[in-house]
Amino acid sequence: MTTIIPERRPEWLRVRAPKGENYQELKQLMRGQSLHTVCEEARCPNIGECWGHKTATFMILGRVCTRSCGFCAVETGRPLGLDWEEPKRVAEAVQQMGLRHAVVTSVNRDELKDGGAAVFASTIRWIRRLNPECKVEVLTPDFKGSADALRVVMDAKPDIFNHNVETIPRLYKRVRPQAVYLRSLQVLKMAKEMYPGTRTKSGFMLGLGETWDEILEVMRDMREYDIDILTIGQYLRPSFQHLPFSAMCLWKSSQL
């Protein structure tokens, strides 16, 4: 019999258990509207802090993803049918929270012809209808590179179009087996070409074994593809079923 010893996290990574009036209020709101957030589904450790400040990222198109990325805690499987009332409920939640900047993401829905693009567009329009002053940021899947699906989202005119590359090209087969690095870059490029005034955004994680040179390569790609905003986050292993943390291999870098 093998005994599994939990990985000990450093003190600076530990957070308090979520609690507080704002946290409970937001939790009740999400349950009451039958909505999902990536904060919960991806087991984000910052949920207490974000919900405590009444900020959350809405996750539409259900809670089951058709892909199986090695870093992600969102459930993988066969999703249920679409809920066309969901966009309105998201907009109502944004209104109740009094948000000035709403962020909407989703699971992958590769079984759908448009990858769920129509639901994204409907959500953007409903938020605008009920919250005219609110900025809308969408964090979308790659829609398998479909320009038609992307056009549906972009025609709804989000303020920020976000699609994360997540990691360096070398690690894609292990980290994002159903995705393609260049395809993700092309989606971001197409979004900018369709609506040049829309700000594009992408991000990736550190902690999966990347080198400094590889990090710089991704950053150069972001610039080459005219991406306006880049975010870099720390990978935290959601469970023992997910990819282990691996320190950045600085010693391989020709820069050092």
Predicted confidence at residue 75, as pLDDT, reads 86
Does residue 1 register a pLDDT over 60?
no
The pTM (predicted TM-score) of the whole model is: 0.84
Which of 64-73, 152-161, 162-171, 180-189 shows the lowest per-residue confidence on average (mean pLDDT)? 64-73
End-to-end CA distance of the chain: 44
Q: What pLDDT, on a 0 to 100 scale, did the predictor assign at position 4?
A: 43
Share of the chain above pLDDT 70, in %: 76
Spatial neighbors of 237 by CB under 8 A, at least 6 apart, are 7, 71, 243, 244, 245
Q: Label residue 178 by pLDDT band (50, 70, 90).
A: very high
pLDDT score at 31:
73
Q: pLDDT tens for residues 10-21?
A: 665 555 555 556
What count of Cα atoms within 13 Å lies in the side-chain half-sphere of residue 217? 14
Specify the range with the lowest mean pLDDT, choosing from 8-17, 58-67, 109-118, 219-228: 8-17
Using the predicted structure, report yes or no on whether residue 253 has a pLDDT greater than 90: no
pLDDT band at 248 (very low <50, low <70, confident <90, very high): low
Structure tokens at 107: 């699971």
Whether pLDDT at 190 is above 50: yes
Task: For the chain, list the domains and their CATH numbers.
Answer: 18-252 (3.20.20.70)
Using a 10 angstrom Cβ sphere, with 0-12 exposed, 13-18 middle and 19 or more buried, the burial of residue 111 is exposed
Is residue 134 a known part of a binding site?
Answer: no
Query: Quick one: pLDDT band at residue 41, thresholds 50, 70, 90?
Result: low
- The more confident residue out of 103 and 157 is 157
Residue 29 has pLDDT above 90, yes or no: no
| Rounded mean pLDDT, 121-127 | 98
Q: Please, what is the average pLDDT of the chain?
A: 84
pLDDT of residue 130: 97
Name the token pair of 234.
């720390």
CB 59 within 8 A of CB 33: no
| Three-class secondary structure of residue 17 per DSSP | coil
How is residue 174 annotated by DSSP?
H
Is residue 224 scored above 60 in pLDDT?
Answer: yes
pLDDT (average), residues 33-47: 61
Q: What is the pLDDT of residue 138?
A: 98
For residue 49, pLDDT over 70 is answered with: no
Confirm or deny that 249 is annotated as ligand binding: no
Give CA–CA dist 226/189, Å, rounded. Answer: 7
Q: Provide φ and ψ at 156, rounded to 5°.
A: -80, -5
Q: What is the per-residue pLDDT for 40?
A: 60
